[in-house]
Amino acid sequence: MDAKNYKEFREDFIERTFALSDKKRIEYTEGNQNADVLWNFKNIANKLGMTAIQILSVYLLKHISSLFQFFKKPNEKYSEPIEGRIMDIINYLLLLCALIKTTPQPNDNNTKRIGEESSRAVRNGADGTEL
């Protein structure tokens, strides 16, 4: 696949992935889709005495397990196309990022955005000297 076709494929795939997320959010949030997109995970966590991130991990793991099954047996017939599972994984990872962003973390480094490493950490070598 050349770069032009890949870019078109990628844009279409992500657009469909986001549309799937919007569609499923209505079902999973029981009418709370505009107030809190993370409501489902928080609600179940509260009922089970777990964290919202732990609940999300169960949902995510189900799809990752399906993906690994596909890796082992790509020619099997599955109940859902692998493309849909990949879309779900992407959406769950985005929801995970949202949970991390909105959940106080004991280690503040967990909530930094990618590429926001402290300039000191980037400038310093492994032995602490300036690079």
pLDDT in tens, 45-97: 999 999 999 999 999 999 999 999 999 999 999 888 999 999 999 999 999 99
Banded pLDDT at 104 (limits 50, 70, 90): confident
Higher pLDDT, 8 or 123: 8
CA dist 45 and 71 (Å) reads 31
What ranges make up the beta strands (E) of 46-94? none
Residue 124 is classified by DSSP as B
User: What type of residue is 31?
Assistant: G
- Cα separation of 92 and 29, whole Å? 14
Q: Where are the domains of the chain?
A: 3-123
d(CA 124, CA 91): 35
Question: Residue 52 carries which side chain, given as an amino acid letter?
Answer: A
pLDDT higher than threshold 50 for residue 122: no
pLDDT number for residue 121? 44
